[in-house]
Structure 1
Amino acid sequence: MSEAFIFSLVKNSSSIYRKLLITLPVLILALTDWLVPSTSAWGDEGHRYVNLVAAEKLPSAMPAFFKNAAARLSFLGPEPDRWRDQRELFNALREVNAPDHFIDIDKPEDFQALPNDRYKYADWLRAKGKDPKDVGFLPYAILEGYQKIQVLFRLWRDPQQAAERDQIEQNIIYYAGVVGHYVADGAQPLHTTIHYNGWSTSLNPDIFTREPLHWRFEGEYVRAQIKPEDFRELVKPAQPLQDPFSDTMKFLFDSYNQVEQLYRMDKTARWEANNRNTESKRFVAGRLAAGSQMLANLWYTAWLNSVR
């Protein structure tokens, strides 16, 4: 099978391309780097930054052990990509984990009243003739992570669990760091669309690039041009969410609404390591700040809602 043929499939079918990424890792390794970039939102650095800045914005009401865990929380930001990207394993972990990193909401009107249950959502998609693995489970990865933290904070508060409080604290930090990864994915516009690595449909009136740009944007550019201080001041102190799932969907819709702007900016200042355009930096800083803000709010809400 020639590389030209593979590229033709990639350009014309985001579903086929995503399946190549998930189910044909041997083939992926044989392709050139420009053809199949990494699809880890924000790369290692961006995920660490989002968790770190979120930890800095927590109120004094949060337990000290959690507020003092910023370094560990930051390290855990890329954790789900560590599970997924060990390509030599080629096992069930990658297959089951990959759809948690994205959701294609290119028809927002279809996603206005989703069930807050992963399996009911999957049934709903199948009834519409869609494969849930192709559409993605990102909001459910966030919701389930939030609920794990809430349960653990509840155990931490329980006097009957005092003897094992140290163990519970470690679990809280771990799951809080991991859910941060999915929140950061949600702040990356390319994780909310079928156009996640080049414009993928025949209808392209703005003549957006069809070439891979996912890693150029979130990996090469962020690594070279962004530091936590570039967006730290954009993040406000954590505030409680009204409804974690509904607020998660609003957060994802906001990210999706930035997709065309991201592509438009690539036309004027290409997303790559040497892009020093001020507007490019402001755009990425805003998205990373949105991730940190949502994450800080989510952690704080889990703490507040852990009261029996």
Structure 2
Amino acid sequence: MVSHCAPKKIFSEEAKFFFIITLILSLVKGQNEALGSDIRWGFWAHKRINRMATFRLPPEMQVFYKKHIEYLTENATNPDKRRYAVVGEAERHFIDLDVYGDSALLILPKFWPAAVARFGEDSLRKHGIVPWQIQQSAYQLTEAFKTKNPGRILKVSADLGHYVADAHVPLHTTRNYNGQLSGQEGIHGFWESRLPELFAGNYDLWIGPAEYCDNIAIEAWKIVRDSHLACDSVFLFEKQLTLRFKKDEKYSYELRNNVLTRSYSREFSEKYHQMLAKQVERRMKASVKMVGDIWYTCWVNAGQPDLREISGFAPGIKEAQEQAEEQKSWLQKLFNVRTESD
């Protein structure tokens, strides 16, 4: 006898919800991978930097940070995802110092209100605001510590780590960020993607315990200064090496995500890496140091709140739903997808 009863409800609403979240996040991850080398630094280095910075914190902070180390690691790439979809995000990742001339580091005000008064907000944002964004994010993290808001602490910490790391990339301090002005197109992904991909397994990224920053604004500007000073060798060595290689020797083809992609050959990459004399490793190591130092400084400036009181925090359905909606929004804007409202 055939039953005509209604079928059982196999999946609960909660199960469906988390399935949708997983699907959205996997789509976003796949899109970011498809975008290519211009955000590859975000996929390996950003995650590694945030993760290593966590181990530099004192026990009073590790009681919270180590418990959420996977969040801090995986969400280190969120600003890059927002960069393609959220208005106002892209300029937080760089600053074109050469636009302001040889005296840029002398004439640019170190604090945002003074910079706006002198150059205007639109002009500043057009040419990048990363040193000021680091200051803003540090302020936000200090406030999150003061209110002991665990979700906010994690979100701002992950984002702050990203901006600090971006400021350590030489090519994030020049308008010739991808060699497009010097006939060296692709150098951005080469420096921050291909080289770490091949050689970062041997990098020593351990520094020691976090240290207090007396002035975060000054430290942020030191970062971009040191990054910008490294630009000359980034471009010069690539150009010199190119003259020694035939075109079919400079590049090779590799299968990435089932797509045949042209990359800088291993031999060319090795030679360039040697010429840079551990420059990429030094900038990554400096990133780990500064991320840990600023996290620690924000906690101290907030009065060293007892993080044991929030150590039991675990993102619930509400937080997961907010994250999924945010990711969904990025995805929709990225693809310019129009969806029907519920």
Q: Is the 8 A contact 2:190 2:264 kept in 1?
A: yes
Paired position in structure 2 for 1:152: 144
Q: Distance in 1 between matches of 2:174 and 2:77?
A: 21
Q: What are the equivalent positions in structure 2 for 1:39-118 lying under 5 Å apart?
A: 39-40=38-39, 42-85=41-84, 93=86, 95-106=87-98, 107=101, 109-112=103-106, 114-115=108-109, 117-118=111-112
Q: Distance in 2 between matches of 1:285 and 1:187?
A: 11
Q: What are the equivalent positions in structure 2 for 1:152-191 lying under 5 Å apart?
A: 152-156=144-148, 168-191=149-172
Aligned partner of 1:171: which letter?
A: R
Paired position in structure 2 for 1:237: 209
Paired position in structure 2 for 1:143: 135
Q: Is the 8 A contact 2:47 2:74 kept in 1?
A: yes
Paired position in structure 2 for 1:213: 187
Matched, 1:285 2:259: no
Q: Distance in 1 between matches of 2:47 and 2:264?
A: 20
Q: Is the 8 A contact 2:95 2:129 kept in 1?
A: yes
Deviation at 1:209, TM superposition (A): 4.5
Deviations 1:232-259, CA, capped at 9 Å, x for gaps: 23x3321111101111101110111111
- Partner residue of 1:300 out of 271, 296, 303: 296
TM-score between the two structures when normalised by the length of structure 2: 0.64
Q: Distance in 2 between matches of 1:55 and 1:108?
A: 37
Deviation at 1:116, TM superposition (A): 5.2
Q: Distance in 1 between matches of 2:42 and 2:141?
A: 24
Deviation at 1:303, TM superposition (A): 0.7
Paired position in structure 2 for 1:254: 226
Deviation at 1:154, TM superposition (A): 1.4
TM-aligned CA distance change 1:286 to 1:115, over 3 Å:
same
Deviation at 1:262, TM superposition (A): 1.3
Q: Distance in 1 between matches of 2:89 and 2:158?
A: 16
Q: Distance in 2 between matches of 1:262 and 1:250?
A: 19
User: Which range is displaced more, 132-141 or 209-218?
Assistant: 209-218
Deviation at 1:180, TM superposition (A): 0.7
Q: Distance in 1 between matches of 2:205 and 2:163?
A: 19
Q: Distance in 2 between matches of 1:281 and 1:224?
A: 15
Aligned partner of 1:287: which letter?
A: R
TM-aligned CA distance change 1:102 to 1:169, over 3 Å:
same
Deviation at 1:62, TM superposition (A): 2.2
Deviation at 1:176, TM superposition (A): 0.1
Q: What are the equivalent positions in structure 2 for 1:21-32 lying under 5 Å apart?
A: none
Q: Distance in 2 between matches of 1:140 and 1:273?
A: 37
Q: Bigger radius of gyration, 1 or 2?
A: 2
TM-score between the two structures when normalised by the length of structure 1: 0.71
Deviation at 1:37, TM superposition (A): 6.5
Deviation at 1:77, TM superposition (A): 1.2
Paired position in structure 2 for 1:121: 115
Question: Aligned residue pairs: how many?
Answer: 245
Deviation at 1:171, TM superposition (A): 1.7
Q: Distance in 2 between matches of 1:67 and 1:304?
A: 18
> SS state of the match for residue 212, structure 2?
coil
Matched, 1:268 2:241: yes
Aligned partner of 1:96: which letter?
A: G
Q: Distance in 2 between matches of 1:38 and 1:260?
A: 21
Q: Distance in 2 between matches of 1:209 and 1:231?
A: 33
Aligned partner of 2:142: which letter?
A: Q
Q: Is the 8 A contact 2:58 2:210 kept in 1?
A: yes
Q: Is the 8 A contact 1:105 1:192 kept in 2?
A: yes
> SS state of the match for residue 112, structure 1?
helix
Alignment RMSD (CA, Å): 2.8
> SS state of the match for residue 198, structure 1?
coil
Q: Is the 8 A contact 2:54 2:62 kept in 1?
A: no
Q: Distance in 1 between matches of 2:186 and 2:211?
A: 37
Q: Is the 8 A contact 2:42 2:76 kept in 1?
A: no
Q: Is the 8 A contact 1:198 1:210 kept in 2?
A: yes
Paired position in structure 1 for 2:196: 222
Deviation at 1:146, TM superposition (A): 0.7
Q: Percent same amino acid among aligned pairs?
A: 24
Deviation at 1:56, TM superposition (A): 1.7
